[in-house]
Amino acid sequence: MRDRVGQDGTEQGGTARCSNPHDRTGVTRRGLGGLALGAAAGALARPALAQGAPLRVGLMLPYSGTFAQLGENITTAFEMHLAERGGKLGGRAVTVIKLDDASDPAAAPGNVNRLLNRDKADVLVGTVHSGVVMALVQAAREKGVPLLIPNAGNVAASRDLCSASVFRTSFSNWQPGFGMGKALAAMGVKKAVWVTWDYAAGKEQGEGFRDGLKAGGAELVQVLTLPFPETNFQPILAQLPGLGVEAVGAFFAGGGAVQFVRDYAAAGLRDKLPLCGSGFLTEGTLAAQGAAAEGIRTALHYGDGLDIPKNAVFRAAFKAKAGREADVYAVQGYDAAQLLAAGVDAVKGDMDADAALFAAMRGARIDSPRGAFTLSASHNPVQNIYLREARGGENKVIGVAAEALADPGTGCKLA
Ligand code: PHB
């Protein structure tokens, strides 16, 4: 794990392994829903907070490992929106603190602790991995610190562990899986298998896939897994032809997705068993996947060529800043900054006004490159899930797999 130094005056994050992960003393925020301490105790424990002082935003994201590129794109687009606002939110300058979580769930509690206790973050933004995000959700629930999730789809964050202080600008794992299953059934497929890493994101996207297939009268017959972030796919690939299915659905992302799509083609399966999946399978990876990705259909809340004016402007600005094409991760990072801006502007930078801050974020309409969206009651985007096909290095939108899809939000009770 490496430390990071921002290029533009932002602070350096720490290494991921550190002190006792259970030590959260010294940071006490105002209570929410009876989960944390009361207003007076929180106010006393906080550093003297001059509201004119910079707003400290802690970015906890992967900058190493298989999801490194995802973290980079989220960060670049988040900072791009801050720059569009002159580096200020609610009249306050913003200091961004970056910490590499390396997609390591074991190190996550310690990393969150660092951002809150050492770096004195006022707001948390993170992360990519569904296991790692749970430490951020726990901190937000216990301490009332605002958390914006710019990727990780763990359904618990929108269901039984939803919270007044937790907001997502990405998706719940169930959403793209459901869209893909529904679209596949509509194409006439009756039996499919799901292949993925064995952790929350793969499992929950598979559940969405199963539900979508079922809604269209089709069946998920089996789920095949390997541990995250392993990439020895050969034992799984060898089993696929014998399963009696007409299609293979998959969740992999980042470096793992590049490898899986290449190995699938190299195993001679591409023309025998159509490969599809949640859109992460071909997102930000097409250049590296090359011809192996050609024709793969996926479902996601974004597509490169989405004919929306905001998308064209966003993609041009991102390319100019980053020197590479935007992808869904960039979109989610950009929208996290937009959502934070909606809240902080509404309270004119007064982060103690958390009821008003959260109300403004809850009610925001985000002018996203994916198309404008609002949040569901459990603070997750209500959004179209597009059907895309990989063609000539682009994820071309070929239809809408599920319109204005909300996560069911089962078990979410917000105070
Ligand atoms: C997740 O762990 O929730 C996750 C990671 C990478 C993705 C999508 C979801 O591309």
Assigned domain for 97 exists: yes
Reported pTM: 0.90
From the list 374, 323, 384, the residue with the least C-alpha distance to 73 is 323
Instruction: Say yes or no to pLDDT of 158 above 50.
Output: yes
Instruction: Say yes or no to pLDDT of 207 above 70.
Output: yes
- The predicted model gives 389-406 an average pLDDT of 97
Assigned domain for 162 exists: yes
Assigned domain for 271 exists: no
Distance 347 CA to ligand 1 centre (A): 32
Assigned domain for 143 exists: yes
- The predicted model gives 224-233 an average pLDDT of 98
Residue given tokens 């997750």 in the structure block: 380
Instruction: Say yes or no to pLDDT of 340 above 50.
Output: yes
Assigned domain for 79 exists: yes
Can you give the chain as a three-state secondary structure string?
Answer: CCCCCCCCCCECCCCCCCCCCCCCCCCCCCCCCCCCCCHHHHHHHCCCCCCCCCEEEEEEECCCCCCHHHHHHHHHHHHHHHHHCCCEECCEEEEEEEEECCCCHHHHHHHHHHHHHHCCCCEEEECCCCCCHHHHHHHHHHHCCCEEECCCCCHHHHCCCCCCCEEECCCCCHHHHHHHHHHHHHCCCCEEEEEEECCHHHHHHHHHHHHHHHHCCCEEEEEEEECCCCCCCHHHHHHHHHHCCCEEEEECCHHHHHHHHHHHHHCCCCCCCCEEEEHHHHCCCHHHHHHHHCCCEEEECCCCCCCCHHHHHHHHHHHHHHCCCCCHHHHHHHHHHHHHHHHHHHCCCCCCCHHHHHHHHHCCCECCCCCCEEECCCCCEEEEEEEEEEECCEEEEEEEEEEEECCCCCCCCCC
Number of domains in the chain: 1
Assigned domain for 363 exists: yes
The whole-angstrom separation of Cα 102 and Cα 67 is: 8
**Per-residue model confidence (pLDDT) at position 410:** 97
Whether omega for the bond prior to residue 229 falls within 30 degrees of 0, making it cis, is: yes
Strand partners, 125: 59, 148
| Residue numbers of the domain that contains 371 | 29-171+307-381
Instruction: Say yes or no to pLDDT of 2 above 90.
Output: no
Residue of 69, 130, 172 with the most ligand 1 atoms within 8 Å of its CB, for mutation: 130
CA torsion 281→285→286→287, rounded to 10°?
Answer: -160
Q: Computed from CA positions of residues 194, 197, 200, 202, in that sequence, does the dihedral angle turn out positive or negative?
A: negative
Residue 201 CB less than 6 A away from ligand 1: yes
Residue 355, token pair as written in the block: 């009821």
The whole-angstrom separation of Cα 144 and Cα 69 is: 30
The whole-angstrom separation of Cα 333 and Cα 338 is: 9
Assigned domain for 121 exists: yes
**Per-residue pLDDT tens digits for 272-331:** 999 999 999 999 999 999 999 999 999 999 999 899 999 999 999 999 999 999 999 999
Instruction: Say yes or no to pLDDT of 73 above 70.
Output: yes
Task: Give the atom of ligand 1 at the shortest distance from the alpha carbon of 280.
Answer: 10
Indicate the residue type of 287: A
Residue 180 CB less than 6 A away from ligand 1: no
**Per-residue model confidence (pLDDT) at position 52:** 73
Residue 150 CB less than 6 A away from ligand 1: no
**Per-residue pLDDT tens digits for 115-136:** 999 999 999 999 999 999 999 9
Give, in degrees to the nearest 5, the angle at Cα 216 between 211 and 217: 95
Task: Give the atom of ligand 1 at the shortest distance from the alpha carbon of 199.
Answer: 2
**Per-residue model confidence (pLDDT) at position 412:** 97
**Per-residue model confidence (pLDDT) at position 48:** 37
**Per-residue model confidence (pLDDT) at position 306:** 96
Residue 153 CB less than 6 A away from ligand 1: yes
Whether omega for the bond prior to residue 127 falls within 30 degrees of 0, making it cis, is: yes
Residue 126, token pair as written in the block: 């993170």
CA torsion 113→71→226→17, rounded to 10°?
Answer: -30
Mean pLDDT check: name the lowest of 5-14, 54-63, 121-130.
Answer: 5-14
Task: Give the atom of ligand 1 at the shortest distance from the alpha carbon of 132.
Answer: 2
pLDDT interval class at 235 (50, 70, 90): very high
**Per-residue model confidence (pLDDT) at position 51:** 56
The whole-angstrom separation of Cα 229 and Cα 256 is: 7
Closest Cα to atom 5, ligand 1: which residue? 129
CB 185 within 8 A of CB 215: yes
- 268 versus 52: the higher-pLDDT residue is 268
Distance 68 CA to ligand 1 centre (A): 12
**Per-residue model confidence (pLDDT) at position 341:** 98
Helix axes 200-215, 174-186, angle to 10 degrees: 30
- The predicted model gives 84-96 an average pLDDT of 98
Instruction: Write down the mean pLDDT value for the chain.
Output: 90
Distance 280 CA to ligand 1 centre (A): 8
**Per-residue model confidence (pLDDT) at position 414:** 87
Distance 82 CA to ligand 1 centre (A): 24
CATH of the domain at 328: 3.40.50.2300
Residue 152 CB less than 6 A away from ligand 1: yes
**Per-residue model confidence (pLDDT) at position 23:** 29
Residue 209 CB less than 6 A away from ligand 1: no
**Per-residue model confidence (pLDDT) at position 257:** 98
Assigned domain for 194 exists: no
Instruction: Say yes or no to pLDDT of 237 above 80.
Output: yes
**Per-residue model confidence (pLDDT) at position 216:** 98
**Per-residue pLDDT tens digits for 21-33:** 222 222 233 333 3
Distance 350 CA to ligand 1 centre (A): 32
Residue 253 CB less than 6 A away from ligand 1: yes
pLDDT interval class at 415 (50, 70, 90): low
CB 357 within 8 A of CB 346: yes
